[in-house]
């Protein structure tokens, strides 16, 4: 890396020119299928960040939570209390699968959440729909992956973004997604320092 100011300026000019040429050809728009997966922290956080961006642009949006319904949640409280007019928030899960310990009930709740999700996605006024932790429901076969893939490829309105979060995303889902991000855990205080989940960080 050069420390010469003039050389740095010339380098940045070349980079900007290359970026401008590239961006000149990026003119398309479409509703994206977005997957946040991996064993690291930040999958739901990223999804909710996108929801907040939509709200900032005045774009109607919606959230369906498939798993974390019984847990406290700063993002849920914020969206339901302050932005309910632009963001529909549906808590459909009753907790993590190891807490409920009832496969039949978990399956019923996941199926109900999926029906609500399809209803919200079909509503073209919603520019984005976040399906938080749906990958967990798919992993445990509470939902039929073929049904989810078919709906997203055949029935999703063309300008609606759908964000799907949760670890262990199914290969079939990754195959049809437009954008896939994998969060990788490098270090976590829960495992290394016995630090519990804290408000503002985990929920």
Residue 12: inside a domain: no
Question: How many angstroms separate the CA atoms of 150 and 125, rounded?
Answer: 21
Percent of the chain with pLDDT over 90: 66
Per the prediction, the chain carries an average pLDDT of 91
Question: How many angstroms separate the CA atoms of 67 and 125, rounded?
Answer: 25
Question: How many angstroms separate the CA atoms of 55 and 94, rounded?
Answer: 26
Residue 36: inside a domain: yes
Please provide the DSSP assignment of 1-29 as one string: ----HHHHHHHHHHHHHHHHHHHHT----
Domain count, the chain: 1
Question: In terms of residue numbers, what domain contains 187?
Answer: 30-192
Put residue 35 in one of left, alpha, beta given phi > 0 → left and psi -120 to 50 → alpha: beta
**Candidate from 124-128, 145-149, 192-196 with smallest mean pLDDT:** 192-196
Residue 195 gets which letter from DSSP? P
Is the model's pTM score more than 0.75? yes
Residue 41: inside a domain: yes
Residue 7: inside a domain: no
pLDDT bin (cut points 50, 70, 90) of residue 195 is confident
Determine how many CB atoms are found less than 10 A away from the CB of residue 119: 15
State pLDDT tens for residues 27-61.
789 999 999 999 999 999 999 999 999 999 999 99
pLDDT bin (cut points 50, 70, 90) of residue 4 is confident
Half-sphere exposure of 29 (CA within 13 A, CB side): 4
Question: How many angstroms separate the CA atoms of 179 and 174, rounded?
Answer: 8
Specify the pLDDT at position 105: 87
Catalogue the E-assigned strands of the chain: 33-37, 61-65, 87-91, 128-132, 161-165, 179-182
Residue 6: inside a domain: no
Q: Which residue has the higher pLDDT, 106 or 157?
A: 157
Specify the pLDDT at position 100: 59
Question: How many angstroms separate the CA atoms of 195 and 160, rounded?
Answer: 39
Is it the case that residue 200 has pLDDT exceeding 80? Answer: no
Residue 19: inside a domain: no
Residue 18: inside a domain: no
| CATH number, domain containing residue 54 | 3.40.50.300
Is it the case that residue 188 has pLDDT exceeding 90? Answer: no
Residue 98: inside a domain: yes
What is the sign of the dihedral through the CA atoms of 25, 30, 35 and 40? positive
């Amino acid at each position: 890396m050069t420390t010469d100011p003039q050389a740095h300026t010339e380098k940045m000019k070349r980079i900007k020119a290359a970026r401008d040429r590239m961006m000149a050809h990026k003119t398309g728009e479409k509703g994206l299928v977005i997957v946040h997966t991996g064993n690291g922290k930040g999958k739901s956080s990223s999804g909710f960040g996108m929801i907040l961006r939509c709200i900032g642009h005045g774009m109607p949006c919606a959230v369906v939570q498939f798993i974390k319904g019984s847990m406290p949640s700063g993002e849920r409280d914020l969206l339901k209390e302050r932005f309910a007019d632009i963001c529909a928030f549906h808590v459909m899960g009753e907790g993590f699968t190891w807490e409920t310990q009832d496969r039949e009930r978990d399956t019923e709740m996941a199926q109900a959440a999926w029906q609500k999700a399809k209803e919200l996605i079909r509503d073209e006024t919603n520019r984005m729909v976040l399906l938080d932790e749906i990958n967990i429901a798919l992993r445990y076969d509470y939902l039929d992956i073929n049904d989810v893939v078919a709906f997203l490829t055949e029935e999703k309105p063309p300008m609606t973004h759908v964000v799907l979060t949760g670890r262990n995303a199914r290969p079939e889902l990754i195959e049809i997604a437009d954008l896939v991000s994998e969060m990788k855990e490098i270090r976590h205080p829960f495992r290394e320092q016995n630090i519990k989940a804290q408000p503002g960080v985990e929920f």
